[in-house]
Amino acid sequence: SVVERSHIPMHKWMLAFRFMASSKKGISAHQLHRTLGISYKTAWFMAHRIREAMRPTDDGQLGGNGKTVEADETFVGGKAKNRAYAKTLPSHEAVASLVERGGKVRSRHVPDVTAKTLKPILVEVIAKETNLRTDQAPVYTEIGASFASHETVNHSIKEYVRGDAHTNTVEGYFSIFKRGIYGTYHHVSAEHLKRYLAEFDFRYNERTALGVDDTERTEKAIRGAAGRRLTYRQPRGAQQAQA
């Protein structure tokens, strides 16, 4: 498991799982270090092992007949002058998220926002019987024809809702994710961005609105540790991270 051969007492592992599963915006390695009385480097390793446990094992598909999935993309990081927070990511990294209304989210760290990159992801993740909702970005034009319906809103003219066409759900997810990245973690390397996405996806997918409380969410994360092992060389991230 992700806690295999660990020198950290089991009760501290259980507390760390609880903190990460129940903190909506995440908990930094600095806070784990202070709260659990362990070194910062150990806390950093623990947090990444727990994120690995949160990664879904059975993805399945989102949507289906009569269901609606919203797709959108956002960027995190970039030069300090281009954002309110100076330390987050040294580069401007793209994230694509797909959210089923009233259901789950699936996020990917993607190399670019192009139809060539996004189309295989949407086709793999979203059932073809689904109603797709996006903004008017041209990358979705061809992809949309693969689904039961495709409606868009034009944000460039400040159109945000037209009937059931909107991307408010996925934008709400991005809001939670960015508050955590900027407000809690401060520095996230591109190398590990996928693990932070797994963490935020997990909490969203196991949220209270879907009937999952903090204890159940923690137990699911712990069960996810079974059969997974994450080892690290002395990483650059342990020296550089503020998370």
Burial of 220 (0-12, 13-18, 19+ CB in 10 A): middle
Q: Which residue is it, tokens 């998370």?
A: 243
Q: Summarize the confidence of residues 190-215 as an average pLDDT.
A: 95
Helix, strand, coil share of the chain (percent; to 5): 45, 15, 35
Find out whether 59 and 125 touch, Cβ atoms under 8 Å.
yes
Taking CB atoms within 8 Å and a gap of at least 24, the contacts of 146-154 are 146/119, 146/122, 148/65
Instruction: Return the pLDDT at 160.
Output: 81
Measured in whole angstroms, how far is the alpha carbon of residue 26 from the centre of its chain? Answer: 11
pTM for the predicted model, two decimal places: 0.87
> Could you give the dihedral angle defined by the CA atoms of residues 104, 110, 113 and 116, in that order, rounded to the nearest 10 degrees?
-100
| Per-residue pLDDT tens over the stretch 133-168 | 999 999 999 999 999 999 998 887 777 888 889 999
Choose the weakest-confidence range: 12-26, 94-108, 194-208, 220-234. 220-234
Q: Return the C-alpha torsion angle 238, 197, 74, 163, nearest 10.
A: -160
Whole-angstrom distance, CA of residue 62 vs CA of residue 104: 7
pLDDT tier at 238, thresholds 50, 70, 90: very low
User: Model confidence at 18, in pLDDT bands (50, 70, 90)?
Assistant: very high
Q: Identify the pLDDT of residue 106.
A: 96
Residue 240 pLDDT class (50, 70, 90 cuts)? very low
Q: Using the predicted structure, report yes or no on whether residue 88 has a pLDDT greater than 60.
A: no
- Of 58, 143, 128, nearest in space to 96 by CA: 143
Of 22-26, 51-55, 76-80, 135-139, the poorest mean pLDDT is in 76-80
| Pair 138, 119: CB distance under 8 Å | no
Q: Is the pLDDT of residue 53 over 90?
A: yes
